[in-house]
Chains A and B, each alone.
Chain A
Amino acid sequence: MIASRIPGREAARLYGWWRAYRFLLLRRAAQLGFLGLFLTGPLFGVWIAKGTLASSVTFDVLPLTDPFILLQSLAARHLPEATALIGAAIVLGAYLLLGGRTYCSWVCPINPVTDLAAYLRRRFDLDKGWSMKPATRWWLLALVLVVSAATGTIAWELVNPITAFWRAAVFGAGLGVVGVIAIFAFDLFAVRHGWCGHICPVGAFYGLVGRVTLLRVSAPGRARCDDCLDCFSVCPEMHVIAPALRGERTGRGPVIASGDCTVCGRCIDVCPERVFTLTHRFDDRLDPAPPEAEPVARASHQDSKRLNPDTRPLEV
């Protein structure tokens, strides 16, 4: 069966194709771009970034190290050289400013794969499958650190499909792709948003950073929301939307505060009412209330998609 409503189509009709897909396209460009920085060397002999996402050097000066991998190394009681410590500090600092799980949605090479699985699930209206506990990833995050400490190894790097893929792509270790295929199948057939949303401890770690990070998505136009549910259906962490979008009832601000939000910006893209925007954590501004006449003017495109008239905001 094919899903009846395609999220983003309404926004594309109203505001044009670019406006309805720009964050998605920018993210794909970023993901390819980061991989490209590492591939120009092996492919064309032009070295921009060397190494992998675990640790790299850009232009032979800028060291970057994954802070979660460094944390496991520390748990395993190894004090790394200054290069790795500085590199991890730079990365951590960047994500403290730029959104935490933006790593997941803008950098991680697994994201397009799980996004594709989620797209196919929506398109073919597959049921949500086995429902895992959302806390699983926290358990796994703790487990990885405990195993690292107990065995004296960087435990997750034996499994981590992100760096395995990166090594496969950049160093040509072909078997690294197997994990990616397994994750795709798992997400498509077993659990909706299974890997990135429930399991991956790397994402969980950046989710912790996301709890205090500066860059956030906000819903200043939440008064205009007409419950078409497009944002919910594209969101990889749909529980993060409601507290901000429906915050009016609970007295919460419009900023999506949850660290689980990957700041992928897909909700900004698909919303026909332009409810969402990209801003900083302390931006609690709401859009000014619409003039009385506007709801009537917009009624034409709203009627067809209103799902539950009872939840219509009071002032409309």
Chain B
Amino acid sequence: MTQAQSKTTLSRRKFLQDSARTATGVAACGLGLVALVEQSKSLPANALRPPGALAEGAFQSACVRCGLCVRACPYDTLKLAELGAGPAAGTPYFLARQVPCEMCEDIPCVKACPTGALMHSLTDIDKAKMGVAVLVSRETCLNFLGLRCDVCYRDCPLIDKAITLEERHNKRTGRHAIMEPTVHADQCTGCGKCERSCVLEEAAIKVLPVALATGKLGEHYRLGWEEKKKQGGPLVPDLIELPKRLPGTQP
């Protein structure tokens, strides 16, 4: 009897011990894996995903790291991330300053993607959003210094749409114009040609991830003129329309 009892106790003890050991081991592995996964979600700001890529979070639920987009890229723009290179190991990316996207009209990288990590709904490369170019350095951009470099503007595949030159007075000389390269985020595909072609030692214009380069209005913000259009008239009734008194005009 005593022996039988002690046997039971021992096996229960062993069962609890084993269960605890397994649970601890699994939990430790799980935490490690989660930490690794979360860390891999932080894409460096200079690493751009191929055209049509899902947003970074969703991208990692879809990309199987097969490299078929890299194989399809005719310009060797895309490469697979090395372990520790920044983007999650094995995922495709490119660095605009090294080799920008040439914006192939048939978008072979998207077609090659077997999983839809690169969205097959992207059929017009001009609608791609690999990032957004931002003129990050107004102090060093040659155009801002008053020269007519214009290289980023000239190299832009969507010249006069994604980048325009906006004229303003050069206060330093008092008699010249400054032609500001100005990016229009709604048009920019983030191909990176401007960043690649910037003649400076360190590019004054850089392509940043959309999330970094884009602001967001508060959900509750309403644009008065849009609302007015929707309503088909002034939002506040019985407003008096005052005469516009602009310089050089007679009321």
Contact with B along A58-98 (1 / 0, CB 8 A): 00000101100110010011111101100100000000000
How far is A58 from B58 in the complex, measured between Cα atoms in Å? Answer: 27
Partner of B114, one of A84, A143, A176: A84
Flag the segment in B79-87, B94-102, B140-148, B234-242 that touches A.
B79-87
Closest chain B residue to A86 by CB distance? B114
**Chain A residues whose C-beta falls within 8 Å of the C-beta of B58 in the assembled complex:** 78, 152
How far is A174 from B112 in the complex, measured between Cα atoms in Å? Answer: 24
Q: Does B63 contact A (CB under 8 A)?
A: yes
Contact with A along B76-118 (1 / 0, CB 8 A): 0001111110001110000000000000000000001111110
Q: Does A159 contact B (CB under 8 A)?
A: yes
Closest chain A residue to B118 by CB distance? A81
In the bound complex, do residue B37 and residue A51 qualify as a contact, i.e. CB atoms below 8 Å apart?
no
Q: Does A164 contact B (CB under 8 A)?
A: yes
Closest chain B residue to A50 by CB distance? B71
B28-45 with Cβ < 8 A to chain A:
29-30, 33-34, 36-38, 40-41
In the bound complex, do residue B29 and residue A153 qualify as a contact, i.e. CB atoms below 8 Å apart?
no
User: Contact residue range for chain B?
Assistant: 35 or more
**Chain A residues whose C-beta falls within 8 Å of the C-beta of B79 in the assembled complex:** 171
Partner of B90, one of A50, A153, A163: A163
In the bound complex, do residue B64 and residue A55 qualify as a contact, i.e. CB atoms below 8 Å apart?
yes
Given contacts A153-B37, A158-B37, A159-B36, contact A167 B60 (CB under 8 A): no
**Chain B residues whose C-beta falls within 8 Å of the C-beta of A139 in the assembled complex:** 22, 25-26
Given contacts A81-B114, A167-B80, contact A151 B68 (CB under 8 A): no
Tell me, rounded to whole Å, the shortest Cβ–Cβ distance linking A142 to chain B. 8
Q: Does A105 contact B (CB under 8 A)?
A: no
Q: Does A154 contact B (CB under 8 A)?
A: yes
In the bound complex, do residue A52 and residue B41 qualify as a contact, i.e. CB atoms below 8 Å apart?
no
**Chain A residues whose C-beta falls within 8 Å of the C-beta of B81 in the assembled complex:** 173
Closest chain B residue to A56 by CB distance? B66
In the bound complex, do residue B64 and residue A158 qualify as a contact, i.e. CB atoms below 8 Å apart?
no
Given contacts A81-B113, A158-B40, contact A164 B64 (CB under 8 A): no
**Chain A residues whose C-beta falls within 8 Å of the C-beta of B154 in the assembled complex:** none
Q: Does A136 contact B (CB under 8 A)?
A: yes
**Chain B residues whose C-beta falls within 8 Å of the C-beta of A171 in the assembled complex:** 67, 70, 79-80
Tell me, rounded to whole Å, the shortest Cβ–Cβ distance linking A114 to chain B. 20
Partner of B57, one of A50, A133, A150, A152: A152
**Chain B residues whose C-beta falls within 8 Å of the C-beta of A56 in the assembled complex:** 66, 68
Partner of B64, one of A73, A151, A152: A73
**Chain A residues whose C-beta falls within 8 Å of the C-beta of B41 in the assembled complex:** 153
Closest chain B residue to A53 by CB distance? B66
How far is A159 from B90 in the complex, measured between Cα atoms in Å? Answer: 11
How far is A178 from B144 in the complex, measured between Cα atoms in Å? Answer: 48
Q: Does A170 contact B (CB under 8 A)?
A: yes
| B residues apposed to A, CB below 8 Å | 18, 22, 25-26, 29-30, 33-34, 36-38, 40-41, 57-58, 60-68, 70-71, 79-84, 88-90, 112-117, 120
CB-based closest 9 A-B pairs: A76-B61, A55-B66, A81-B116, A78-B61, A83-B114, A175-B83, A51-B66, A153-B60, A80-B115
Q: List 24 A-B contacts (CB under 8 A).
A: A50-B71, A51-B67, A55-B64, A70-B64, A76-B62, A78-B58, A78-B116, A81-B115, A81-B120, A84-B116, A135-B22, A144-B33, A148-B61, A152-B57, A152-B58, A153-B60, A154-B61, A170-B67, A171-B70, A173-B82, A173-B89, A173-B90, A175-B82, A175-B83
